[in-house]
A and B are shown apart, each in its own frame.
Chain A
Amino acid sequence: MHNTQTVIRVGIADMNIANAPQTIRTSGLGSCVGVVLYDSTKKIAGMVHVMLPDSQLGKSKQFNVAKFADTGIHAMLEMLKSQGVRPFSIKAKIAGGAQMFQFGSGDTIRIGPRNVEAVKQELKRYSIQLVAEDTGGSSGRTIEFDPETSILHVRTVNAGTQEL
């Protein structure tokens, strides 16, 4: 198993961890934000596909922690720590938070920018350096992170793939 090149897939409101040579990927980010937390020395990376900014928005008692920026980033940090990653070696790259539609009512229309703001606030809270981001705009994104190189590949329909 060790040398097989596999892609770990992360769904919406989901999270997972990849160790090189595995890569980790989530597709079709719109207003959602893909958060990659990685340790370039240990070549390990966690990805969270955040859908909503704050777990206070959750209206049911039991909820999926990966859905929200605050609980998702916290849970991913715990997962990484349990894999032996030291907190101060963790860095972040993020992508997503687009505004897909140009109309709408109230808070929902700005959900993309709000997700980005919330993610950045959480990174700041844990003193995690944000190394690169591709956020905002009005395009969907598919992202794939390679823990071996710490490169985040971001693909959009119109602009092709770029590296962060």
Chain B
Amino acid sequence: MTFEVIGTYAVGLCLLIGGAFALIGTIGLLKFNDSMTRLHAPTKVGTIGVGAILLASVINSFVSGEGSMHELLIMAFLFVTAPISANFIAKVNIHKRACDTPPSPPRDDTWSTLAVPEADRSLADQNAKV
């Protein structure tokens, strides 16, 4: 078993794992039936799915003799930005009442998404009726 052969098997294994998790994430996106549970499927694709495929790319670049570190950057930026997009989708769901209204917080008045300034309250009520 040479280094190349082991490397090639490792690349194949990583690609399979990444592909499988991306597929499961997509199945979850199709299967779940409300917008909040659907949000959970892409977080899986974003972590293991993309992570394993990028790992395959790193191993492949080292096996073929020209090391590459771009993938680490991709992973770092992905891990920093993915929670923000998920957070915004969740906030839109709460704002549009597309999910169960969350229980109110124990110490403060309300959740920041639901906090409407006094001046805009009549507008918010109108929107809620429509």
A binds B: no
A interface residue numbers (CB < 8 A to B): none
